[in-house]
Structure 1
Amino acid sequence: MEYKEERLRLINSLKYQGLSQEILDAMYRVPRHLFVPSESQIDAYVDAPIMIGQNQTISAPHMVAMMCDLLDLSEGQVVLEVGAGSGYHAAVISELVGESGHVYSIECIEELVNFSRNNLKNAGYSNVTVIHGDGSEGYPEYAPYDRILVTAGAPDVPDSLLNHLKPEGILVIPVGFYFQDLYQIKKELDGSISKNEKGGVMFVPLIGKYGFNMKS
């Protein structure tokens, strides 16, 4: 099934967020049902989070769209995503940066690394690379990045990510534990940082060196 009617219904509901047509078109093109467990495919186009295993979720479509809007994505950009999850958000970003751009997505849970890689492959995305590692430390191999997205709540904004952001780059990150504030952070040409709060959100906690210690 392609869920065309369900996809269209979802996109029509997102139009009221004031999103660009580019984001709406990208959201429509991504087959979200290929990025959730098979038993959840019937709910893939409901605007709500979905459990994907390992106590992790795929974000609600309106949140994915909002974060893409805050990232101000365009053709040819190189993006670092911290937290691949199912690969869905990376696929939407991939649509927006195009074949001349690339998404590097880091995931610390090995089962989700394999899950997201398979989903992206099955959906036909070739400009997304999923890496097994600690995303809170960034990923220096392809730094600096035009844009950085964090899909989990961090204790604070890691310097490691700010250091991997290009001048005139944008970082979008939730900060907090149970309930978080979403921040859009911009690095100016002179290296100075501006931080803008964009509202309350709820994500799983960031795990890793600069994340929360979930063992205590």
Structure 2
Amino acid sequence: MSEVTDLVEMLEKTGIPMSNELIEALLRTEPSDFTDFPLESFWHDFPVPFLVTDSGVTKTISAPHMIVTMLHHLELDEGLHVLLMGSKGGYLATLIDIICGHGGKVTIIEPHDEIAEHTSNVLERRKQCGLIRVLGKEALEDPAWDRDVDRVLFTGSIREIPDFVELLIEEGGFILGPFGGRIQQRLMKKEWQGGAWLETDLGGVVFGPMDIRESERGFPDPLFIADEFEDALILISSVLGENSEEVYRLERLVESLRELPPGLPEITSSFTEEEIIEHPVIELLMTEAEWLNELWPTFVDILGFDLEGIVPDLEEPLFGKRHADFTP
């Protein structure tokens, strides 16, 4: 455990607030119990992978300074019930379990079966102080849930508090998490007091997206695409200027996407080329193809999604030529 001790000493020197209970939890928890990947990056205060999924997605345990920061702001105490949105391999839940003690409870909501199974297997090998359980997102729809949650921690970025979480928070309980899009987020504490959310801004952070809601969306969801384009606007406006024609057109496109009627069908493999092209979302994007053409590769780089494999081959490519201002 010498590496853990050195890590704690390093974090103390940075001035990050750490209670005695948090320090004890760190010293009692060996990170190697939660990952088979080398821990060199973790000892140097960087994230470390704990799993590469079958689809090739790397899932990580957050950097130590961010873990300590989040646990400090959670204001943990014995006997609390903490809802953890996203497993982080079980490491974060174990630290919370030690701090909250024998009367405490940690409920992990992990939307991906593969990650949930991995986390459950890891936690089964460890002795727990209180209760740690790993559930899928369908558990949030269980009517048996009571408003007995004291803290909620989101381990990925979200844009707003999901309705199902609002129903779980006790008076005086609060939510902690990175609120914003893919590019810009703020670590926010939102406390439920007297029927309203009281917000405290704890500073800028960078997290990957919390995909509980996104995992339920089919393509092409116009609201999802609008959200992604709004994120891209932050970068594009800083490069091209807030008054540029591209920024203006993208802002109008976002408005048009949000105005599309709800309940549009998901494009599936059974769709013909004609049906795909006539889909309202694709049709809207295609009408903007002339100017979107140069920006689309930037969207792919920033946002990580494309229409390849969805939109059929056309005589002229729909999107693809990189804008000169974004060419290295």
The residue aligned with 2:160 is 156
- TM-score, normalising length: structure 2: 0.59
Q: Which has the higher strand share?
A: 1
Matched residue of 1:12: which SS? Answer: helix
1:47-83 CA distance string (max 9 Å, x none): 2111232332111111111111111010001111110
Q: Is the 8 A contact 1:138 1:161 kept in 2?
A: no
Hey, what's the Cα distance between the residues in 2 that align with 1:152 and 1:84?
A: 10
The residue aligned with 1:106 is 109
Superposed displacement of residue 19, structure 1:
1.6
Hey, what's the Cα distance between the residues in 2 that align with 1:166 and 1:81?
A: 15
Hey, what's the Cα distance between the residues in 2 that align with 1:25 and 1:140?
A: 35
Verify: 1:62 aligned to 2:60, yes or no: no
The residue aligned with 1:30 is 29
The residue aligned with 1:180 is 185
Q: Is the 8 A contact 1:136 1:211 kept in 2?
A: no
166 and 147 in structure 1: CA distance in 2 versus 1, 3 angstrom threshold: same
Letter in 2 for 1:89: L
Match of 1:208 among 195, 200, 212: 212
Q: Is the 8 A contact 1:207 1:214 kept in 2?
A: no
Residues 63-72 or 42-51, more deviating: 42-51
Q: Is the 8 A contact 1:77 1:102 kept in 2?
A: yes
Verify: 1:11 aligned to 2:28, yes or no: no
Q: How many residues align?
A: 211
Hey, what's the Cα distance between the residues in 2 that align with 1:48 and 1:136?
A: 32
CA RMSD of aligned residues (A): 2.4
Letter in 1 for 2:46: A
Q: Which has the higher helix share?
A: 2
Instruction: Kindly indicate whether structure 1 or structure 2 has the higher relative contact order, using CA contacts under 8 Å at least 6 residues apart.
Output: 1
Match of 1:95 among 93, 98, 114: 98
Verify: 1:74 aligned to 2:81, yes or no: no
Identity, % of aligned pairs? 27
Q: Which protein has the larger Cα radius of gyration, Structure 1 or Structure 2?
A: 2
Q: Is the 8 A contact 2:42 2:63 kept in 1?
A: no
Superposed displacement of residue 163, structure 1:
2.3
Verify: 1:49 aligned to 2:47, yes or no: yes
Match of 2:89 among 65, 78, 86: 86
Hey, what's the Cα distance between the residues in 1 that align with 2:199 and 2:110?
A: 25
Hey, what's the Cα distance between the residues in 1 that align with 2:45 and 2:7?
A: 7
Hey, what's the Cα distance between the residues in 2 that align with 1:89 and 1:19?
A: 15
1:6-36 CA distance string (max 9 Å, x none): 0001111121212212111111211111111
Residues 116-125 or 57-66, more deviating: 116-125
Unaligned runs of 5+ in 1: none
Hey, what's the Cα distance between the residues in 2 that align with 1:137 and 1:204?
A: 25
